[in-house]
């Protein structure tokens, strides 16, 4: 099945469902899904964004800007994630507890607005990584139209570019808690440090950045082809000084470069 056959499958699914609320983060996947649903269903589409310390603040701003351009109804659910069961303890199935609470709140908001079906932006590639949160989505009855249409990240970026959606080239994002090793306590301070550090390095021109929080140590991951740029410029001292000012004592560059879910390697 090629990219556009998958797109047809997605559109047919949306037409059948008729009315849908979408958990909208502002990332590449949920933005594409929301835009497509809006084109098919119009005002029978609702965007719901959960605003909390687990998501990059810049992504939240991008979500609000996109909604404004679409002139679509947008609900924002404020959530203190540190009150979620076991979240702060950070067990290996943390994502399950987190997704269960987050999407319970999304469902509540959707039902109050008259929407019974709730979708998320999980794509087909996400099934290859360790994602206990997907179990929570299944238990709650959340649908994943992109995954069900076999749409990969590559498919989504390709069509998004053709549709003129700015997020077609936005770097992959993930919950900020994924930067903290399992078993290490998650605190608001740690999440804020990671968010600020990643935004700073991204603003230097690096396309994909992860700052993994290992206590006093910041382990930086950038794309493989960008490691050389990081080492050749004056970035080493510049970044080290900046991140130490944020609270880290040691700043390192991962020699293997960026890879999705690198902290899952310990499992």
The CA distance from 51 to 109, in Å, is 13
Split into its structural domains, the chain has a count of 2
Q: Are residues 141 and 114 part of one domain? A: yes
pLDDT attached to residue 233:
75
Q: Are residues 61 and 13 part of one domain? A: yes
Range of the domain at 204: 176-266
Q: Are residues 137 and 18 part of one domain? A: yes
Asked if residue 20 lies in contact with residue 14, where contact means CB atoms within 8 angstroms, the answer is: yes
Query: Is the confidence at residue 239, as pLDDT, over 90?
Result: yes
Q: Are residues 134 and 45 part of one domain? A: yes
Using alpha carbons, select from 112, 227, 103, 221 the residue that is nearest to residue 172.
221
Among 169, 200, 223, residue at a domain's last position: 169
* Buried/exposed 143-181: b ≥16 CB within 10 Å, e otherwise: bbbbbebebbbebbbbbbeeeebebbebbebbbbbbbbe
The CA distance from 64 to 55, in Å, is 14
The number of beta carbons lying within 10 Å of the beta carbon of residue 45 is 25
Q: Are residues 107 and 184 part of one domain? A: no
pLDDT attached to residue 59:
80
Residue 233 is part of a domain; what is its CATH number? Answer: 3.30.70
- Which residue matches tokens 């549709």? 163
Among 147, 169, 191, residue at a domain's last position: 169
pTM for the whole thing?
0.87
Q: Are residues 161 and 243 part of one domain? A: no
DSSP-derived pairing of the beta strands 118-119 and 20-23 = parallel
Q: Are residues 65 and 102 part of one domain? A: yes
172 backbone φψ class: left, alpha, beta (φ>0; ψ -120 to 50): beta
Q: Are residues 249 and 140 part of one domain? A: no
pLDDT attached to residue 60:
80
Among 112, 143, 169, residue at a domain's last position: 169
pLDDT attached to residue 266:
65
Give the pLDDT band (50/70/90) at residue 267.
low
Residue 82 is part of a domain; what is its CATH number? Answer: 3.40.50.620
Using alpha carbons, select from 132, 163, 161, 142 the residue that is nearest to residue 50.
142
162 backbone φψ class: left, alpha, beta (φ>0; ψ -120 to 50): alpha
Q: Are residues 29 and 105 part of one domain? A: yes
For 124-180, what is each residue's pLDDT tens digit?
A: 988 776 678 889 999 999 999 999 999 999 999 999 999 999 888 888 878 899 999
Q: Are residues 70 and 13 part of one domain? A: yes
Q: Are residues 151 and 59 part of one domain? A: yes
The CA distance from 27 to 21, in Å, is 16
**Tokens coding 74:** 């947008």
Q: Are residues 102 and 18 part of one domain? A: yes
Give the burial class of 93: count Cβ atoms within 10 A of its Cβ; 0-12 exposed, 13-18 middle, 19 or more buried. Answer: middle
The CA distance from 179 to 262, in Å, is 9
């Amino acid at each position: 099945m090629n990219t556009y056959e998958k797109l047809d499958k997605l559109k047919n699914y949306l037409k059948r469902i008729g009315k849908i609320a979408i958990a909208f983060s502002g990332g590449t996947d949920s933005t594409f899904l929301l835009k497509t649903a809006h084109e098919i269903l119009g005002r029978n589409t609702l965007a719901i964004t959960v605003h909390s310390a687990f998501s990059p603040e810049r992504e939240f701003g991008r979500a609000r800007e996109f909604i404004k351009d679409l002139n679509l109804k947008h609900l924002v659910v404020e959530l203190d994630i540190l009150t979620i069961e076991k979240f702060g303890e950070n067990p290996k199935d943390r994502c399950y507890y987190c997704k269960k609470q987050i999407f319970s709140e999304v469902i509540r908001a959707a039902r109050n607005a008259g929407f019974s079906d709730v979708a998320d932006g999980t794509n087909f590639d996400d099934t290859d990584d360790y994602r206990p949160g997907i179990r929570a989505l299944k238990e709650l009855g959340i649908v994943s139209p992109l995954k069900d249409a076999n749409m990969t990240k590559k498919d989504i970026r390709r069509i998004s570019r053709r549709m003129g959606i700015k997020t077609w080239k936005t770097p992959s994002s993930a919950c900020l808690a994924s930067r903290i090793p399992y078993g290490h306590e998650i605190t608001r301070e740690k999440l804020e440090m990671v968010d600020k550090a990643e935004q700073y390095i991204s603003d230097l021109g690096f396309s994909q950045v992860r700052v993994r929080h290992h206590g006093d140590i910041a382990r930086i991951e950038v794309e493989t082809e960008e490691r050389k740029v990081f080492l050749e410029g004056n970035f080493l001292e510049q970044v080290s000084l900046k991140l130490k000012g944020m609270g880290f004592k040691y700043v390192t560059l991962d020699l293997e470069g960026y890879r999705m879910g690198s902290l899952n390697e310990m499992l």
